Amino acid sequence: MARATIIKELHVKAENETGLLGRIVLALAEEGVEIIHLCAYSEEGQGGHLQMIVKDTDKAQKALGHFVSKVEERDALMVEFENKVGTLAPVAKLLGNHGIFINYVYGTSSDGFKIVGVFSTQDNQKAADLINADSAARF
């Protein structure tokens, strides 16, 4: 089914301005910060939002400090799935059946063999334990 790990995710809220994302990722590159996963979007009247998983959160926070006043570090859940149709369904069903609310999820597939999803749930540890136990039971 899937394998879950708790990771650190950086959250940034900034004023919406053209070119900000470019300046941020350039600053991260100049600090040698590897971006593993990135989600960026804007909301009318709410500014820009950036969520990312990086290799070095301390370096990333230093680089981001030039552009934003507050970088929040939160726990998230990284879930690896086999790259096949329908592999998210059992995970979503499992969490729902155990009353775990999913705040958000985003993900991607890059190597053709696996999909990586980043989840925030109301209880990331319980979600990870359920996913990993269910996966172990299937093999």
Residue numbers of the domain that contains 110: 75-138
For residue 36, the model assigns a pLDDT of 92
Does one domain contain both 119 and 134?
A: yes
Query: How large is the average pLDDT for residues 100-127?
Result: 90
Domain end point (choices 57, 73, 89): 73
Proportion of the chain above pLDDT 70, given as a percent = 97
Q: Which of 73, 97, 125 is the last residue of a domain?
A: 73
Angle at 89 between CA 85 and CA 93, to 5 degrees: 170
Q: Taking residues 83-88, report their average pLDDT.
A: 88
In terms of average pLDDT, the best of 69-73, 110-114, 121-125 is: 121-125
> Is this prediction's pTM over 0.95?
no
Residues 59 and 23 in one domain: yes
1 within some domain: no
Dump pLDDT digits (tens) for 40-73.
988 888 788 899 999 999 999 999 988 787 899 9
Q: Within a domain: residue 2?
A: no
Domain containing residue 97: CATH number: 3.30.2130.10
% of the chain residues with pLDDT over 90: 60
* 3 found inside a domain: no
- Domains of the chain: total: 2
Buried/exposed 41-71: b ≥16 CB within 10 Å, e otherwise = ebeeeeebebbbbbeebeebbebbeebbeeb
Q: Report if residue 50 sits inside a domain.
A: yes
